[in-house]
Copies of this chain bind each other. A is one copy, B any other.
Amino acid sequence: MSIKYAKRMEYIKGSAIRELLKLTEQPEIISFAGGLPAPELFPIEEMKEVCLKVLDTDGKAALQYSTTEGYLPLRKIISERMRYSGIEIPADDILITSGSQQGLEFSGKVFLDEGDTVICESPSYLGALNAFKSYLPRFVEVEMDNEGMKMDELEKALEANPNAKFIYTIPDFQNPSGITMSFERRKRLVELSVKYNVPIVEDNPYGDLRFEGERIPAVKHFDTAGMVIYLGTFSKTFSPGLRVGWVAASPEIVRKYVLVKQGADLQCNSMAQRETAAFVQMFDIDKHINKIIEVYGRRRTLMIETMEKEFPKNVKFTYPSGGLFTWVELPEGVDAAAVLKKALEEKVAFVPGGSFYPNGGNENHFRLNYSCMPEDKIVEGITRLGKVLKTL
């Protein structure tokens, strides 16, 4: 006798890549595979003060159940900070989530019936695709260029798919491509969303980590009709371990997310929410972010320079002006998963690109992360990778 699971469990599978990547946890491996913040930048000493302060002033509430919506002072801080991205939204329209990953999962739950369409960038963030997949949608991928999703392609996709439930985009320093959507495209994206009555899920974990150039207003900045659901997080600017993210949307939509959150896990960690608020109140988070930008920016530059020197000329890659990733394109027909096997023999790891395309194909890409390796390992790892690529 075997136990009967829900149909969706046939589609929620451990990936072969994830198994391969378990190898990357060995300390001798130079890994460009993950998407981890640099742990040496975590404000550990500050956190000690923060914890004592929270427990001293608000200990009972920090250890008790609380509202599903989240800790109001934190939501007010988020509301304030969203102005940096050109967004005016009251704290009432913000729900605290367990990282922005939970916001992605909830987007699937709020919007998707089996067979509905999700329109996404091609490639797109693996973790989002997996969260959506559990609601059994179809994916329609929209090609990108250096300015992000191509808007004529998007319009074609919207016309061809009247059952599209939302458009998923990571406009700033996209995961995995590192591409940033241009001002004009963001404006047009919102126009198309309104024209076709299809909401946008704007996932923005990296927007604060810009190394150069001017910040472009969020997609949500252009949203006057309440069509954009903005997902944010403190994972890349403070700590991913605390699992504090948020959803900001119109009152009608955010209410749906609150109801889903109630059933899903009642609320986020009361203490972590207070710690995050206290950190912003007691310390200068923008100064802290600038330190992260400086370190990641240097690592980015070094990685790109080393790639230019060490990679064969027929290997292309993106030049990200922020975030955590660059995206590598091998010549047509080369399988990045096979390259990974060879790279692992040289003790270097990355994520093959195939799984970032929900409908498959494009096996000749891979993603490199530069935030989590010190500079000497970046040079050494990219040099070794270059040697592997030259043997192809």
Q: When the two chains form their complex, are residues B240 and A110 in contact, meaning their CB atoms are under 8 A apart? A: no
Inter-chain CA distance A64–B47, complex, in Å, is 13
B-binding segment of A7-15, A142-150, A354-362: A7-15
**Which residue in B39, B62, B65, B256 is a CB contact (below 8 Å) of A5?**
B256
Given the complex, which residues of B lie within 8 Å of A130, measured CB to CB? 262-263
Given the complex, which residues of B lie within 8 Å of A134, measured CB to CB? 109, 260, 263
Q: When the two chains form their complex, are residues A64 and B102 in contact, meaning their CB atoms are under 8 A apart? A: no
Inter-chain CA distance A59–B47, complex, in Å, is 9
Task: Count identical subunits in the complex.
Answer: 2
Inter-chain CA distance A105–B165, complex, in Å, is 23
Given the complex, which residues of B lie within 8 Å of A256, measured CB to CB? 5, 9, 12
B-binding segment of A214-222, A267-275, A324-332, A381-389: A267-275
Q: When the two chains form their complex, are residues A112 and B65 in contact, meaning their CB atoms are under 8 A apart? A: no
Digitize A28-48: 1 where CB-to-B-CB distance is under 8 Å, 0 elsewhere: 000000101101101010011
Instruction: Indicate whether A266 reaches chain B with its CB closer than 8 angstroms.
Output: yes
Tell me how far the C-beta of A369 lies from the nearest C-beta in chain B, rounded to whole angstroms: 12
Q: When the two chains form their complex, are residues A241 and B271 in contact, meaning their CB atoms are under 8 A apart? A: yes
Instruction: Indicate whether A313 reaches chain B with its CB closer than 8 angstroms.
Output: no
Inter-chain CA distance A65–B99, complex, in Å, is 11
User: How many A residues have CB within 8 A of the partner chain?
Assistant: 77
Q: When the two chains form their complex, are residues A242 and B269 in contact, meaning their CB atoms are under 8 A apart? A: yes
Q: When the two chains form their complex, are residues A47 and B65 in contact, meaning their CB atoms are under 8 A apart? A: no
Contact A3 B197, CB 8 Å, known A109-B8, A263-B130, A265-B98: yes
Instruction: Indicate whether A251 reaches chain B with its CB closer than 8 angstroms.
Output: no
Instruction: Indicate whether A321 reaches chain B with its CB closer than 8 angstroms.
Output: no
Inter-chain CA distance A5–B240, complex, in Å, is 30
Digitize A61-88: 1 where CB-to-B-CB distance is under 8 Å, 0 elsewhere: 1111110000000000000000000000
**Which residue in B55, B63, B127, B131 is a CB contact (below 8 Å) of A240?**
B63
**Which residue in B6, B199, B266 is a CB contact (below 8 Å) of A135?**
B6
Q: When the two chains form their complex, are residues B3 and A253 in contact, meaning their CB atoms are under 8 A apart? A: yes
Given the complex, which residues of B lie within 8 Å of A160, measured CB to CB? none
Find the residue from A64, A111, A235, A256 having the highest chain B CB count within 10 A: A64
Inter-chain CA distance A235–B252, complex, in Å, is 31
Digitize A7-29: 1 where CB-to-B-CB distance is under 8 Å, 0 elsewhere: 11100111000000000000000
Q: When the two chains form their complex, are residues A48 and B51 in contact, meaning their CB atoms are under 8 A apart? A: yes
Inter-chain CA distance A264–B235, complex, in Å, is 16
Contact A241 B47, CB 8 Å, known A12-B260, A109-B6, A269-B269: no
Contact A239 B63, CB 8 Å, known A105-B265, A197-B3: yes
Instruction: Indicate whether A347 reaches chain B with its CB closer than 8 angstroms.
Output: no
Instruction: Indicate whether A101 reaches chain B with its CB closer than 8 angstroms.
Output: yes
A residues 265-309 in Cβ contact with B at 8 Å: 265-272
Instruction: Indicate whether A60 reaches chain B with its CB closer than 8 angstroms.
Output: yes
Given the complex, which residues of B lie within 8 Å of A235, measured CB to CB? 65
Given the complex, which residues of B lie within 8 Å of A210, measured CB to CB? none
Given contacts A42-B64, A47-B63, 10 further A-B contacts (CB under 8 A): A3-B197, A37-B64, A39-B60, A52-B52, A62-B241, A63-B239, A98-B98, A242-B271, A243-B268, A272-B272
CB-defined A-B contacts under 8 Å, sample of 17: A3-B252, A5-B111, A6-B112, A6-B113, A6-B116, A9-B110, A44-B63, A51-B51, A63-B239, A63-B241, A64-B240, A97-B265, A101-B266, A134-B260, A242-B270, A264-B264, A269-B272
In the A-B complex, the 8 residue pairs with the closest CB atoms: A241-B270, A44-B59, A51-B51, A63-B239, A39-B60, A98-B265, A102-B265, A42-B63
